[in-house]
A and B are shown apart, each in its own frame.
Chain A
Amino acid sequence: QVQLLESGPGLVKPSETLSLTCTVSSSSISSSFSTSTNHYWGWIRQPPGKGLEWIGHIYPSGSTYYNPSLKNRVTISEDTSKNQFFLRLSSVTAADTAVYYCASIGQKELDFDYWGQGTLATVSS
């Protein structure tokens, strides 16, 4: 079964860049782990006490899709040699304080089928 684990600093200062890593195990991010569909690798966040927001995702080919609400602040990239993918969110404010989850996304249904445990990132000076 695919396992994902987020890592990164828990505290980021306003106007700085939030950088998170998702390490995938029991599957390669550069090949499908399912016979029924290929997978994207993506990020979702959840502010404390609030709902879920899709941030974006990356396909193993390197193609990326981002939430327009985050405008040009977000970058998702990958390192297939380390079986990791990354999130960078620039110019953060208190509104970016949230639990950040990484997840695998089935290409066929765009469903988030495996999730990491989540990591809380707090924006504060």
Chain B
Amino acid sequence: DIQMTQSPSSLSASLGDRVTITCRASQKIHTYVNWYQQKSGIAPKLLIYAASNLQSGVPSRFSGSGSGTDFTLTINSLQAEDFASYYCQQSYRIPLTFGGGTKVEI
């Protein structure tokens, strides 16, 4: 299975901050990475697909980058509604696997 290692597991940030979350794959996976946001008690929401493509309706302060084994989710100018957990997911090979998550706290 392809392991997805996210870091950090949690972080504290302030409104207006720029936040960066990283995800490292255990093998090269081109750009087959998707990113999700999950607020407490609610289903995850797709933010970014294929490493850098913004899902329709997602604010442009979210961006993704990377290829091969190292990927990054960036949130520019953190807003109150962005405090949540974030997960990466590889779609290069079955079984589909997720990172362990990053909790963004105030």
Which residues of A pack against B, CB within 8 Å? 51-54, 65, 67-69, 101, 106, 109-113, 115-118
Contacts and interface: CB of A to CB of B under 8 A. Distances in A.
B91 A115 contact: no
Nearest to A4: B43
Please tell me the size bucket of the interface on B: 20 to 34
Interface of B: 1, 32, 34, 36, 42-46, 49-50, 55, 87, 89, 91, 94-101
Contacts, number: 57
Given A101-B43, A111-B34, A111-B49, A52 B91 contact: no
Given A52-B98, A54-B96, A65-B94, A113 B46 contact: yes
B43 A117 contact: yes
A69 B87 contact: no
B23 to A, nearest CB: 12
Contacts of A54: 89, 95-98
Contacts of B32: 109-110
B100 A51 contact: yes
